A and B are shown apart, each in its own frame.
Chain A
Amino acid sequence: MSTTTAGAVPERAESAWGTFRRGLALSPELRTGLAGTLGLALVSMVGRAAVPVAIQQGIDRGLRAPGGPDLGVVGVVVAATAAVLVLTTICGYLMMRRLFTVSETALAGVRVRAFRHVHDLSMLHQQAERRGSLVSRVTSDVDQITQFLQWGGVILLINLGQVVVTTVVMAVYSWQLTLVVFGAFIPALAVIRIFQKRLAAAYGVVRQRLGAMLAAVSESVVGAPVIRAYGVAGRTAERLDRTIDAQRRAQQRAIRTSVISFSTGEIAAGLALAGVVVLGVRLGVDGTLGIGELTAFLFLVTLFIQPVQIATEVLNEAQNAVAGWRRVLDVLDVAPDVADPGEQGVDLPAGPIDIRFADVGYGYPGGPPVLVDVTVDIPAKTRVAVVGETGSGKTTFAKLLTRLMDPSAGAVLLSGVPLDRVRFGSLRSRVVMVPQDGFLFDSTVAENVRFGRPELTDDELALAFTELGLGDWVEGLPFGLATPVGERGEALSVGERQLVALARAYVADPDLLVLDEATSAVDPATEVRLQRTLDAVTRGRTTVAIAHRLSTAQAADEVIVVDRGRIVQRGPHEELVSDPQSVYGLLYASWLEQTR
């Protein structure tokens, strides 16, 4: 299938700053009180330099005051610094409180918007193989941003500030010594950058191996019956062990790189301290530097090292967070190709719906045409069956009819209105499709049937099942309507899931009902019974049934035969079977062979 790349969310190569600007444009609420928050952050950063300054002042003006140690001065210095510390602590609290409230609120908004956006994307974007990655857009990608903000973001902000503030204070005390410190750190930073890149690659491998391991675990869990039935637990265990150990090895490689990177900073710190002592003593001897200043400088070097080391580590997380943010924004930037016309749209006229396909063509992006020049009129209130071999294009017909996709050529009209002009609110309440895979939510039978009509009471639901002739089946369930259906409905058999899906569509009370092989896993007797009741309850509405059992076609007012993307035959069953060499004639012959 060529669709593996078609409709994929494009990955952008973009700078972190570009992502940041795009993100800010999308969540203007992030700007709320930003100036105040930054102001508070600045105050709490200045507090970081308070202690070394206090030590310098205490030593030079107090302990080593020209007239002998002056305890009064030390007292004043300590009291003033303590006041500064209390103030910066309060500012730190206020800053974090504002930051978290604003950012979490904005990100929750982004999360919800992305969720809705994914639902608004067409079937093409929602294909099964990409669902996992779509889920991660509204879960782990956003989590990555919030977790970074909670742990790394504040640390990064404060530490970068601390680097700036200590640099300024250091430069004030001695520009020469500041150069020594930078002389030790700049080469170290270059080395750290190289290792950070390797580290990012190493963590990339870790994530990849984690994915492989989870796939293996999931295979061993989902495939448990096969593994047991074929007695291949030993082989499965070996495969699991291989992926588990591969991930462990990748993790161990990553941590080795990380430690080397981190120790570079430590060695640079040692070099800086040693250099400061050697040069500082010379400067002191020359009289350009006091003892207090030199001592304060040693403290400042430590205050400079820690944030640089921490910041380089956190920067890694920052890159992940920015990448996560970018992925979320990229999803939001994908324009829904099957969009709700909204205000500009119109509602479907009241009453039964007629269908018109005018020169409709469809092909998946990059693939061969699936439907070609389909022109067909289906009058209101008729029951039509669409039949054809697997891959003939009959399911595409249903998807175009319900506007899950838009045709690449021509137009689909319902009651004379072009489908892309119909408001979704009107379309989805009047036109309902029952897909082959009757997906159920992890809740009860009743809740699932109520999905389209939350206001229905249990009595009304029970009545609906009775009308469909499924009352017996419901009574046979362990807890009746309250029976839990399990994850994806897996507590029910495939056929039973289809019964619930059918009831769900039935209570939605549509004017056009589209059934896409909706009863393919139901036993023949039940199917025939359903067919009869459906005939009765859908009288007065238009029904289009995509059928793989020809019993459905036999019961329909009219049969449309699709072959290799074109409509090749049309008419009532009796008429079509009269030519045994026609496409339908052959399909019917093979059907009879199976069932008689």
Chain B
Amino acid sequence: MAGKTSRDILIRGIRVLGYAIRDEPRIFAVAVGGSILYSLLIIASAYVVGAVVGNVVVPSLESGRADLAAVLLGAAALLAVSLGRVLGMFGRRIGAGFMQYRLQASYRRRITRRYLELPLSWHHRHATGTLLSNANSDVEAAWFPIAPLPFAVGTLVMLVAAMGSLFVTDWVLAMVGVAIFPALFALNVVYSRRMAPRQARAQQMRAEVSAIAHESFDGALVVKTMGQEARETARFAARAGELRDALISVGRLRGVFDPMLETLPSLGTLAVLLVGAARLNQGAVTITELVSVAFLFTVLAFPVRAIGWVLAELPRSVAGWDRLQSVLTATGEMPYGDTTLDRRDGRPATLVLDRVTFGYAPAEPPPATAPAEPGLATEEPETAARPIGVPPPTEPATAPTEPATAPTEPAPAEPPAPGSVPVLHDVSFTVPAGRTVALVGPTGSGKSTIVSLAVRLVDPDAGTVTLDEVDVRALTAASLAGTTALVAQVPFVFDDTIRENITLGRDGITDDDVWAALRLAEADGFVAALPDALDTMVGERGAALSGGQRQRLTLARALAGRPRLLVLDDATSAVDPRVEAAILAALRGERAESTDPAGPPESRASILVVAYRRATIALADEVVYVEHGRVVGRGTHATLLRTTPGYAALVTAYERAEAERERERERAYEDPATRRGEEVDA
């Protein structure tokens, strides 16, 4: 069984090498050409040495006088062989290196291209660290055997040539080769096969040790404040110990095989000496031939190892290749459509979410305990009954034919992983053109998911999201990006200049536009004060900026594109409320300026804003209140305060807390004895 699987891996490994050769045939040809030249010259050098001994050294020493021409010819031949070997080495090493590096670069491009194409739902399921190692160490592992491959191919040619030359020289001496070469080859194969699983385990343990160190140092503050250094060290030490054992087991195997691989060719040389002496006695070989063959065994020992190197790396290569393939062949692409939205002179867009349902596929398999299904079926009839005050949405073309019996498991765009975690149920609301809608709800109610759907970072499992009555899935990437802009909860800043962070290379954004956007985001002041203003590099993840500055920068980025729908996901939490109010007011303020008496009142953009702050909510034309992934209230702030208790509880929490404290204080003042009872009542 184990033998079969390792043979399986060998075959698959050779196939991966085949792909590499198919990708870079010309460089491979150069590398193998160089390698064969090198290998054949190694054999040649043995015969040259033999010839020099037999034809120059022996006659000269025996005759007592040196034939200068013959001596110089011998010396020149040795030098020529060396120069030829240098040539072969250049071809082999540079060829192999270039081939390996070109393959790495090409696959890194393919992998990262795929990261950009795959939808966010796919990204959600894969840890950042895994994706990084796919692009880095897995690519490296997949193409690692390329480095010794030309050498190994050259060595195989050399072994065949060496055997041939042995038989030509003397069949009895050739028998030594027949015994030694296959033994050497077999020893290498056995070594590689034994080594592969040990190396794999060491690699695995190395990754685990690294993962613990990363996590533990990331959480250093928690470790420190909870005084858990000893426990963390024990956790790390356990893995470091396993890594140590794995490395020792690798080392022991090396200890067994390396000296044997070293000794075997030497034994061959000795056998040649013994057998050769007999054959010399019989007159079957000359001293030249004897020395040549003995020399051959000495120089062959090292190159034969190259075959072992390739074989040893194949399992790792296959594992790396498989992981690359899992990215390259990942499905669930989120293709864009080919519809382009009319920009309508930059007038605001209308966003409609119609009966949207969404669930996240879990990143990890669920634990053994069965998940508590939150009674989807029983609540389903609500689908038909819309929440109070919700106008029926414009009937979209893709509306389910039987909304009242909408299936609990709608036909998804991609098959959801079993145990997908439901986040949104039947969410419907509209952001009318030019209006501001505030999205309010408790922690974990699904607000960020709604925001992701609105700008099509994810697609709904059921229901539709439309912009100006066009399903967002039908829009081109450029049209979608040109229409909407999202400012996320956690600002993301690229390691680039301020200007590039705002324009993101989008066409038609001039420096004046950049400054205008910065002004609107109230970021012009700090940017102007920076040493290189717009050309200032902000560092990795914007390390040179404060949290609030990063947030205002991402706001300016959104505004610079003159979006027709602006989506703010609690994007101003690190910004002074006054700044937030100014930004929203500025966006809405243009409504008055651009009013054409004949046309409808227009602001620059429709706005969907996730908010907790009363001040922000107050700026909205309408409030959508969500709880547990459902819209439970829509209307003005005043209406919701009256009709939706959850909303009222959320937005008046501070006032009520204060009032309660006030009451308690008064009671305590009037009658301290009643205080204890009060607690129970509350």
Q: Which of B75, B371, B486, B656 has the most CB of A within 10 A?
A: B75
Q: Which of B71-108 contact A (CB under 8 A)?
A: 71-72, 74-76, 78-79, 81-83, 85-86, 89-90, 93-94, 97-98, 101-102, 104-105, 108
Task: Judge if A523 is at the interface, Cβ distance under 8 Å.
Answer: yes
Known A-B contacts A228-B120, A390-B548, A479-B369; A150 and B254 likewise in contact (beta carbons under 8 Å): yes
Are the CB atoms of B485 and A54 closer together than 8 Å? no
Determine if B223 is an interface residue (Cβ-Cβ < 8 Å). yes
Interface residues of B in 587-634 (CB under 8 A from A): 612-615, 628
Measured between alpha carbons, how far is A382 from B225 in the docked complex, in Å? 21
Number of residues from A at the complex interface, CB < 8 A: 183
Of the candidates B94, B131, B225, B615, the one whose C-beta lies within 8 Å of that of A432 is: B225
A167-175, A371-379, A491-499 - interface stretch: A491-499
Which of B174-182, B232-240, B313-321, B346-354 sits within the interface? Answer: B232-240
A197 part of interface (Cβ distance < 8 Å): no
B156 at the A interface (CB under 8 A): no
Contacts of B221 in A (CB 8 A): 123, 126, 404, 435, 437, 439
Interface of B is mostly: helix
B116 touches A220 (CB 8 A): yes
B526 at the interface (CB under 8 A from A): no
The size class of the interface chain B forms with chain A is 35 or more
Interface contact A259-B89, CB-CB below 8 Å: yes
Chain B residue at minimal CB-CB distance from A206: B101
Which of A425, A496, A551 is the most central at the interface, judged by chain B CB atoms within 10 Å of its CB? A551
Q: Tell me which of B97, B113, B657 contacts A531 (CB under 8 A).
A: B657
Evaluate contact between B218 and A488: CB separation under 8 angstroms. yes
Question: Taking the complex as formed, is A8 at the interface, i.e. its CB lies under 8 A from any CB of chain B?
Answer: no
User: Across the interface, which residues of A come within 8 angstroms of B505, CB to CB?
Assistant: 232, 235
Say if the beta carbon of B24 comes within 8 Å of chain A.
no
Which residues of B lie under 8 Å from residue A473 when comparing CB positions? 444
The reply on A269 being an interface residue by CB < 8 A is yes
Among B131, B227, B494, contact of A427 (Cβ-Cβ < 8 Å): B227
Contact of B448 with A by CB under 8 A:
yes
Q: Do A96 and B254 touch (CB < 8 A)?
A: yes
What mask results when residues 36 to 52 of chain B are scored 1 for a CB within 8 Å of chain A, else 0? Answer: 00000000000001001
A259 touches B273 (CB 8 A): no
Q: Flag whether B291 is at the interface (Cβ < 8 A).
A: yes
Complex contact A528–B367 (CB within 8 A): no
B72→A285 contact, CB < 8 A = no
Residues of B within 8 A of A444 (CB): 367
Whether the Cβ atoms of A478 and B421 lie closer than 8 Å is: yes
For chain B residues 167-191, which have a beta carbon within 8 Å of chain A? none
- Are A50 and B240 within 8 A (Cβ)? no
Q: Within the assembled complex, what's the spacing in Å between the Cα atoms of A24 and B215?
A: 30
Inter-chain contact B251/A96, CB cutoff 8 Å: yes
Which chain A residue shows the least CB distance to B238? A112
One of B224, B255, B478 near A404 (C-beta < 8 A)? B224
The answer to whether A263 and B259 touch (CB under 8 A), given A85-B266, A139-B206, A229-B484, is: no
Q: Check if B210 sits within 8 Å of A135, measured CB to CB.
A: yes
Q: Provided the pairs A270-B83, A487-B129, A525-B649 are in contact, do residues A454 and B225 lie with their beta carbons within 8 angstroms?
A: no
Closest chain-A Cβ to B175's Cβ sits at a distance in Å of 16
Chain A positions 135-193 with a Cβ under 8 Å from a chain B Cβ: 135, 138-140, 143, 146, 150, 154
B636 contacts partner chain A, Cβ-Cβ < 8 Å: no
Assembly CA distance A146 to B291 (angstroms): 41
A246 to chain B, nearest CB (A): 10
**Binding stretch for chain A, among B294-302, B379-387, B395-403:** B294-302
Q: For B206, list chain A residues within 8 Å (CB).
A: 139, 143
Q: With a CB–CB cut-off of 8 A, which chain B residues contact A404?
A: 221, 224-225
B228 within 8 A of A: yes
A273 and B82 form a contact (CB under 8 A): yes
Which of A55-63, A321-329, A354-362, A412-420 interfaces with chain B?
A55-63
A221 CB-CB contact with B under 8 Å: yes
B253 to chain A, nearest CB (A): 10
A92–B258 CB distance below 8 A: yes
> Known contacts being A93-B255, A97-B252, A278-B75, is A237 close to B112, with CB within 8 Å?
yes
Take A101-B248, A220-B112, A233-B116 as given contacts and tell me if A78 and B444 are in contact as well, using a CB distance cutoff of 8 Å.
no
> Given A89-B259, A428-B226, are A219 and B247 neighbors across the interface (CB < 8 Å)?
no
Residue among B94, B281, B486, B577 making CB contact with A229, cutoff 8 Å: B486
Report if A594-B57 is in contact (Cβ < 8 Å); known contacts: A232-B505, A442-B215.
Answer: no
15 A-B residue contacts at CB 8 Å? A59-B287, A104-B251, A115-B233, A131-B217, A139-B209, A231-B478, A240-B112, A248-B105, A266-B85, A275-B75, A281-B66, A298-B52, A493-B444, A501-B222, A528-B656
Closest 10 CB pairs of A and B: A428-B227, A270-B82, A231-B481, A100-B251, A92-B259, A96-B255, A495-B443, A255-B97, A274-B75, A108-B244
